[in-house]
């Protein structure tokens, strides 16, 4: 029994790290992403997990202030080169709710979804997030 | 964001595409994903699509051109005269927000006829532009390499690390010392952990470089980043044959209570932190520490109460003053409220009175962009 449990833990490959809970951009963007690739196991297993993640808010459309959708990125000014897809988390507020774009580092809580999303034949997102709350 | 079936395949050669509509979508759709999809399609459309982008730019002005579109074109496969002309138009327009992204595109296209402009770019106020100018020269190689290597001595630590990463991407070992140094960075500017971010970027670049030199795996970077960085540093020291020091935790020169940051792709960035008792530390690495007269600082400090929110439409460049729990305002170019403007002018006056002319000039030189009806 102990062997089975240990085996399961080792199979998860993340001894010492939470299976869900707090995650960071080091995990989400700590690999060179190419379209169609098999994502790292520790990223794949986050799909559907309730997590918290800290980063910088950017509106999906420049200049918007009160938004139902926003991007969470790992860059304070949003202009240090174009973020790669594994450096952007597309966040959606609950239906009918909006949030202001907060300055500086924020934390989002909610559900992370992992997997390539396609629009018009183009991969346009890797991470999406159903937001429960946003705070500084 | 809903999963969508691919409704449109990439345009086949000879197939008519409404490029004007695609350009409109790439610049105006409210959803980022749809702008990005359109931008990628345009980038593959070569000269026909590029002509539509130029027409849109002429009609609406470069100000409305979206970053994903610039980036997609810059990194895209088009190599004709039209795309080069478009990238030049953007890259050498000082008022164009995404000029560094456009310069990246020119760098990737190895255009020796632009070498003089690249040399000029090494002295640009924007650290991003300097990095791309260096990248362009490094890619030209031969007699231009020495000039490109100057990025490793840049005053901005972000530029030094980005330059090192650019070198490693070109399999140039000259990038190893700075990249290894960056592995140890933990610097913060108030709530921005910029040091750790650049440390991660350096680690990824070192792994990629090592892999291309025949080393397999990622040194355990995902499982144990700290150990992996030590392993990367050790490998790099052996590979380069040089004694390379990793950055150590920065000394806390002051107990920062608040600060001012100006992010400007036009005029360059400015960072200033201050303590409750009036010590000011300028620079990301805190290169310039000074103290204001007690009464002067008390007066300035009193002016930092009760301000939160944003002013104007922040697209890229912004000015932000934070004194957590009391003041946090982010301002777009041309939208600086009168009260904040007076405060910043008073700060510049105080710096001058204290014979800190360089810091005062750096501040005043950047305020014009944010003042109402100021330079864009």
* Cα separation, B189 vs B168, whole angstroms: 27
pLDDT band at A4 (very low <50, low <70, confident <90, very high): very low
Among partner residues A77, A122, A125, which is closest to B1 by beta-carbon distance?
A: A125
Q: Where are the alpha helices (DSSP H) in chain B?
A: 19-28, 32-44, 46-60, 67-75, 81-91, 99-108, 115-121, 127-140, 145-149, 157-169, 176-183, 194-212, 225-240, 294-302, 338-353, 357-370
Q: How far is A112 from chain B (nearest CA, A)?
A: 13
Instruction: Please write the tens of the pLDDT for every residue from B20-76.
Output: 999 999 999 988 889 999 999 999 987 789 999 999 999 999 989 999 999 999 999
Q: Does the beta carbon of B104 lie under 8 angstroms from any beta carbon of chain A? A: yes
Instruction: Please write the tens of the pLDDT for every residue from B68-93.
Output: 999 999 999 999 999 999 999 999 99
- A49: CB partners within 8 A, 6+ apart: A19, A20, A111, A112
Looking at per-residue pLDDT, the higher value among B144 and B243 belongs to B144
* Cα separation, A12 vs A41, whole angstroms: 8
DSSP string of A1-17, one letter each residue:
-HHHHHHHHHHHT-TTS
What does the pLDDT average to over B172-187? Answer: 94
**Yes or no, beta carbons of A79 and B97 under 8 Å apart:** yes
Give the distance between the most distant pair of CA atoms in chain B.
Answer: 73
Q: What is the pLDDT of residue B307?
A: 76
**Yes or no, beta carbons of A125 and B10 under 8 Å apart:** no
Predicted confidence (pLDDT) at residue A9 exceeds the cutoff of 80: no
* Cα separation, A65 vs A99, whole angstroms: 8
Mean predicted lDDT score pLDDT of chain B: 90
Q: For residue B313, what is the nearest residue in chain A, using CA coordinates?
A: A63
Strand, coil or helix: what is A132?
strand
Q: Which chain B residues are Cβ-neighbours of A79 within 8 angstroms?
A: 67, 97-98, 128, 263, 265, 316
Among partner residues A77, A82, A101, which is closest to B68 by beta-carbon distance?
A: A82
Q: What is the pLDDT of residue B90?
A: 97
Q: What is the pLDDT of residue A63?
A: 76
Under an 8 Å CB criterion, which residues of A touch B? 13-14, 25-27, 29-32, 40, 42, 60-63, 65, 69, 71, 74-82, 90, 92, 101, 103-105, 117-122, 124-125, 128
pTM of the model: 0.89
Q: What is the pLDDT of residue B5?
A: 34
| Site from B22, B103, B191 to mutate, A interface, most A CB atoms within 10 angstroms | B191
Which one, of A80, A84, A90, A83, lies nearest residue A34 by Cα? A84
Judge contact between B339 and B347, C-beta under 8 A: no
Instruction: Please write the tens of the pLDDT for every residue from B291-331.
Output: 988 899 999 988 887 678 888 888 889 999 999 878 889 99
**Yes or no, beta carbons of B330 and A103 under 8 Å apart:** yes
CA-to-CA dists, residue B273 to B253, B293, B322, B359, angstroms: 10, 16, 9, 13
Pairing of strands B307-311, B327-331: parallel
Altogether, the residues listed in chain A come to a count of 136
Q: Which chain B residues are Cβ-neighbours of A120 within 8 angstroms?
A: 4, 6-8, 34, 37-38, 41
pLDDT band at A75 (very low <50, low <70, confident <90, very high): confident
φ/ψ of B356, rounded to 5, equals: -100, 65
DSSP string of B110-124, one letter each residue:
--GGGHHHHHHHTT-
The burial class, CB within 10 Å (0-12 / 13-18 / 19+), for B142 is exposed
* Cα separation, B337 vs B307, whole angstroms: 11
* Cα separation, B268 vs B271, whole angstroms: 10
Q: Can you read off the two tokens belonging to residue B71? A: 């980036």
What does the pLDDT average to over A54-63? Answer: 88
Q: What is the DSSP letter of A80?
A: S
Judge contact between A99 and A134, C-beta under 8 A: yes
Q: What is the pLDDT of residue A29?
A: 92
CA-to-CA dists, residue B203 to A70, A82, B35, B152, B247, angstroms: 28, 19, 31, 17, 13
Contacts 24+ apart (CB under 8 A), B287-290: B288/B356, B288/B358, B288/B359, B289/B253, B289/B254, B290/B351, B290/B354, B290/B356, B290/B359
Q: Which chain A residues are Cβ-neighbours of B5 within 8 angstroms?
A: 118
* Cα separation, B55 vs A80, whole angstroms: 27
Q: How far is B355 from chain A (nearest CA, A)?
A: 31
Q: What is the pLDDT of residue A7?
A: 45
Strand, coil or helix: what is B188?
coil
Q: Which chain B residues are Cβ-neighbours of A25 within 8 angstroms?
A: 197, 200
Whole-complex ipTM: 0.84
Among partner residues B104, B158, B322, which is closest to A104 by beta-carbon distance?
A: B322
* Cα separation, B118 vs B103, whole angstroms: 9
Q: How far is B147 from chain A (nearest CA, A)?
A: 22
What does the pLDDT average to over A126-136? Answer: 95
**Yes or no, beta carbons of A63 and B223 under 8 Å apart:** no
């Amino acid at each position: 029994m102990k062997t089975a449990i240990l085996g399961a833990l080792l199979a998860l490959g993340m001894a010492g790290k939470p299976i869900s809970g707090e995650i960071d951009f080091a995990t989400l963007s700590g690999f060179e992403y190419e379209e169609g690739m098999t994502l790292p196991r520790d990223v794949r297993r986050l799909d559907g997990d309730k997590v918290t993640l800290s980063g910088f808010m950017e509106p999906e459309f420049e200049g918007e202030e009160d938004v139902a959708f926003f991007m969470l990125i790992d860059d304070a000014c949003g202009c240090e080169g174009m973020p790669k897809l594994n450096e952007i988390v597309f966040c959606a507020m609950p239906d009918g709710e909006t949030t202001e774009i907060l300055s500086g580092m924020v934390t989002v809580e909610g559900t992370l979804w992992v997997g390539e999303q396609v629009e018009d034949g183009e991969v346009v997102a890797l991470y999406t997030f159903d937001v429960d709350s946003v705070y500084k | 964001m809903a999963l969508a079936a691919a409704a449109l395949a990439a345009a086949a050669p000879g197939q008519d595409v409404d490029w004007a509509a695609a350009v409109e979508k790439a610049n105006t759709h409210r959803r980022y994903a749809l702008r990005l999809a359109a931008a990628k399609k345009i980038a593959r459309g070569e000269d026909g699509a590029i002509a539509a982008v130029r027409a849109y730019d002429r009609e609406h002005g470069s100000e409305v051109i979206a970053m994903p579109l610039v980036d997609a074109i810059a990194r895209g496969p088009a190599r004709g005269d039209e795309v080069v002309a478009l990238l030049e138009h953007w890259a050498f327009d000082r008022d164009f927000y995404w000029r560094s992204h456009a310069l990246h595109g020119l760098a990737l296209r190895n255009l020796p006829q632009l070498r003089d402009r690249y040399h000029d770019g090494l002295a640009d106020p924007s650290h991003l532009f300097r990095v791309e100018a260096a990248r362009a020269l490094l890619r030209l190689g031969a007699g231009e390499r020495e000039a490109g290597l100057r990025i490793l001595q840049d005053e901005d630590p972000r530029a030094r690390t980005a330059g090192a990463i650019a070198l490693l991407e070109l399999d140039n070992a000259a990038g190893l010392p700075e990249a290894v140094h960056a592995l140890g960075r933990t610097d913060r500017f108030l709530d921005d952990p910029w040091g750790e971010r650049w440390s991660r970027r350096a680690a990824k670049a070192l792994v990629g470089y090592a892999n291309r030199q025949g080393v397999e795996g990622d040194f355990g970077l995902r499982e144990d980043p700290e150990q992996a960085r030590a392993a990367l540093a050790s490998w790099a020291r052996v590979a380069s044959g040089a004694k390379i020091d990793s950055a150590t935790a920065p000394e806390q020169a002051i107990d920062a209570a608040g600060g001012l940051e100006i992010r400007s792709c036009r005029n360059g960035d400015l960072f200033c932190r201050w303590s409750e008792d009036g010590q000011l530390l300028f620079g990301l690495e805190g290169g310039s520490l000074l103290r204001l007269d007690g009464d002067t600082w008390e007066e300035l400090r009193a002016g930092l109460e009760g301000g939160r929110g944003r002013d104007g439409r922040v697209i890229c460049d912004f000015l932000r003053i934070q004194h957590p729990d009391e003041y946090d305002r982010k301002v777009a170019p041309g939208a600086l409220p009168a009260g904040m403007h007076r405060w910043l002018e008073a700060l510049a006056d105080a710096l001058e009175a204290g014979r800190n002319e360089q810091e005062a000039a750096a501040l005043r030189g950047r305020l014009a962009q944010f003042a109402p009806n100021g330079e864009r």
